[in-house]
Structures are given as structure tokens and as C-alpha cells.
Amino acid sequence: MAQTRLMTLVFVREDARVLLGLKKRGFGVGRWNGFGGKVQSGETIEEGAARELLEESTLRVAPSDLKRAGILRFEFVGKSDLLEVHVFTSCKFEGVPTETEGMRPAWFAQEAIPFDQMWPDDVLWYPMLFSGDTFNGYFKFEGHDKILDYTLTVAN
């Protein structure tokens, strides 16, 4: 029986820029992504998202300043866990993005996002993220580079 792992992903935005982090270790190493990870026992999803952002970028955001953007579910062929990723944006933050053991942050203009160095599904749902639409998606992967099947809908 598949087990669902509750995850978060935060995209900090400033004007027409978005902050991404280059993953330096673990799952997704070598790819640019938002900041996030597992929700811990006793945390709300927003609290987990704010904690992960702080741990990975040193930026502070109040959980109440996170705006829900969508939910993405990921299945990887041959893996029993399903990932349920709650995606947030925030324009309110404190601090300066700083490299950590796990991530190297960098600002990107919306028209210069390095999709060729990201997960292959990102190019499909980022337009919804930037337009302010709330979305739901499901992606079935073979390995980390091949999407076998997906659905993606606007939820609002």
C-alpha cells in the first residue's frame, strides 16, 4: 500500500523575480527548485513550509504570509511513497537569501527561469504559479526525467 508523504514548496517573489535554490544534495540534487521539504509531526503545512524556507535559504516568512498556490501529487514508478506537495508563494519575507548546506539561492527574472535545469513538470505548472491561478496536478514519473502521465487543472 502506498504511503503519502506531505511536503511543501515555497516560491519567494519580488517584483518580476522569483527566488530559486540549486539543490546541493539529496533528492533532486543539481536542479533548481523552490524551497521546501517534509512537514514534521505537530506542524501545520504552513509552519513546515516556513521552517523549510528558513533552513534552506535563511529567509524568514510568517506562516500567515504564505499564499496557497496549488497541490501537486507525484508518483515515481517502482517507489511506494506518493508525494503530496503543497505549493506556496510569498512576497513578504525578512533577511537576505544565503547559501546553506542544502541549497544555493539565486534570483531569476520570470522570463529567464532555467527550466532545462529543473524538474520536467515545472515548465507545465509555472505559468499558473505566476498568473496567480490555484492549481492541482498529478505527475507519474519513470525515473526523475520522464513524465509518463499527468493531469493539471486550475482550481479557482
- pLDDT tens readout for residues 59-75: 999 999 999 999 999 99
pLDDT value of position 107 = 97
- Which residue type, as a one-letter code, is found at position 39? V
20 in Cβ contact with 106 (< 8 Å): yes
d(CA 117, CA 17): 17
d(CA 88, CA 29): 21
d(CA 109, CA 15): 9
Average pLDDT, consecutive stretches of 10 residues, N- to C-terminus, the chain (156 residues): 89 94 92 96 96 97 96 94 96 96 95 96 94 94 95 90
d(CA 24, CA 103): 5
d(CA 1, CA 32): 31
Helix count and strand count (H, E) for the chain: 2, 8
Query: Which helix (H) or strand (E) covers residue 150, if one does?
Result: strand 146-154
pLDDT value of position 132 = 87
- Which residue type, as a one-letter code, is found at position 68? R
23 in Cβ contact with 102 (< 8 Å): yes
* Angle, vertex CA 145, rays to CA 143 and CA 150, nearest 5: 90
Sequence spans of domains, the chain: 3-154
- Please give the CATH topology (third level) of the domain spanning 3-154: Nucleoside Triphosphate Pyrophosphohydrolase (3.90.79)
- pLDDT tens readout for residues 13-23: 998 899 999 99
